């Protein structure tokens, strides 16, 4: 079994996504950071009604940096480079908002999703504390361009790494990494989302919770975050595809107003590295289905 991969970064030509691969893949784990991108297109900033500082409040800022040791620990890390307020890869491809793109959306997308109707579709209408990103509507062709240049390259990269894990180990384990405002964390440091048990085998959630608790984190499951489109789409336990979402309280590692990492950053990063090592050692080449 050949589990060797090219080392270091493997960006797509359009620089929408970056894959940081290990020299040797040691487990079926694949880590992803879909919301930590901070490369704002100039055209987007010029068209937006909000300042960049307000737009950045939608980011899971620094989550990719918290997990940057993942490749050295034997697993790939897939990270979006574009910002969540520009394109949200944790949505279905055609969760488009008719208030932003017009009535043509209905003929393309079918039934309107709750997330899109709330202004939080694949091309968000709202950011920050519910503020409108744009002064008016956008042409539907703009949505198509963003899906082509950002959304699809991200999911192609992620799907490719998960396929590689299944080819090497017989199953894949996606760890989808996010951060959450401390106010919505309800006293938790970590929220694990497994779609209420439907996106992965119970043993994965149980092991992750146990490891985090051993590392001193306060952990809850599925409330208020059970996992979004990515967890639901890639988590198919019956097909040996498992997905678990991790939400980390932002107050643990940064100033939530300025988004600047504070003195707790290094300690959280070190504990997350220990989490990755423990989870990797738990799974190795064994099959979840065999447990």
Q: Tens-digit pLDDT profile for the chain (291 aa)?
A: 333 333 344 444 458 999 999 999 999 999 999 999 999 999 999 999 999 999 999 999 999 999 999 999 999 999 999 999 999 999 999 999 999 999 989 888 888 899 999 999 999 999 978 899 999 999 999 999 999 999 999 999 999 999 999 999 999 999 999 999 999 999 999 999 999 999 999 999 999 999 999 999 999 999 999 999 999 999 999 999 999 999 999 999 999 999 999 999 999 999 999 999 999 999 864 544 444
Residue 138 lies in a domain: no
Using DSSP's 3-state secondary structure scheme, residue 169 falls into helix
244 is a domain residue: yes
* 3-class SS of residue 19: strand
Q: What is the pTM of this model?
A: 0.93
Q: What is the pLDDT of residue 4?
A: 39
Nearest 5°: phi and psi at 137?
-90, 170
Tokens of 161: 């790494």
Cα 266 to chain centroid, rounded: 21
The answer as to whether 53 is a domain residue is yes
Is 190 part of a structural domain of the chain? yes
Does residue 256 sit within a domain? Answer: yes
Total domains, the chain: 1
Q: Dihedral of CA 203/207/199/9: which sign?
A: negative
Helix (H, G, I), strand (E, B) or coil at 198: coil
End-to-end CA distance of the chain: 22
Which range of residues forms the domain containing residue 228? 8-89+147-290
What CATH number has the domain bearing residue 70? 3.40.630.40
Question: Measured between alpha carbons, how far is 151 from 95 in angstroms, rounded to an integer?
Answer: 12
What is the reported pLDDT for 284?
A: 65
Does some domain include residue 105?
A: no
At residue 129, the pLDDT reads 80
Domain assignment present for 104:
no
Distance CA 20, CA 136 (A): 38
Structural domain contains residue 191? yes
pLDDT score, position 8: 43
Distance CA 262, CA 199 (A): 34
Q: What's the confidence (pLDDT) of residue 107?
A: 85
- H or E stretch at 278: helix 265-283
Collapsing DSSP to helix, strand or coil, 20 comes out as strand
């Amino acid at each position: 079994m050949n589990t060797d991969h090219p080392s270091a970064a493997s960006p797509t030509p359009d620089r929408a996504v970056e894959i940081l691969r290990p020299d040797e893949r040691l487990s079926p784990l694949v880590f992803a950071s879909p919301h930590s991108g901070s490369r704002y297109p100039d055209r987007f900033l010029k068209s937006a009604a909000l300042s960049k500082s307000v737009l950045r409040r939608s980011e899971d800022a620094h989550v990719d940096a918290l997990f940057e040791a993942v490749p050295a620990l034997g697993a790939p890390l897939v990270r979006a480079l574009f910002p969540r307020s520009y394109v949200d890869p944790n949505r279905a491809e055609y969760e488009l908002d008719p208030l932003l793109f017009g009535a043509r959306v209905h003929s393309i997308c079918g039934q309107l999703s709750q997330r899109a109707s709330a202004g939080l579709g694949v091309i968000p209408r709202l950011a920050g504390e519910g503020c409108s990103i744009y002064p008016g509507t956008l042409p539907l062709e703009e949505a198509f361009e963003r899906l082509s240049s950002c959304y699809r390259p991200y999911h192609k990269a992620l799907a490719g790494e998960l396929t590689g894990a299944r080819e090497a180990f017989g199953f894949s384990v996606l760890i989808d990494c996010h951060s959450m405002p401390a106010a919505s964390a309800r006293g938790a440091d970590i929220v694990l989302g497994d779609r209420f048990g439907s996106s992965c085998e119970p043993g994965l959630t149980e092991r992750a919770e146990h490891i985090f608790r051993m590392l001193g984190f306060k952990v809850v499951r599925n409330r208020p975050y059970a996992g979004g489109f990515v967890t639901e789409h890639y988590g198919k336990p019956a097909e040996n595809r498992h997905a678990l979402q991790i939400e980390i309280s932002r107050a643990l590692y940064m100033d939530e107003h300025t988004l600047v990492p504070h003195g707790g950053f290094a300690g959280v990063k070190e504990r997350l590295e220990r989490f990755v090592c423990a989870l990797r050692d738990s799974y190795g080449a064994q099959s979840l289905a065999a447990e």
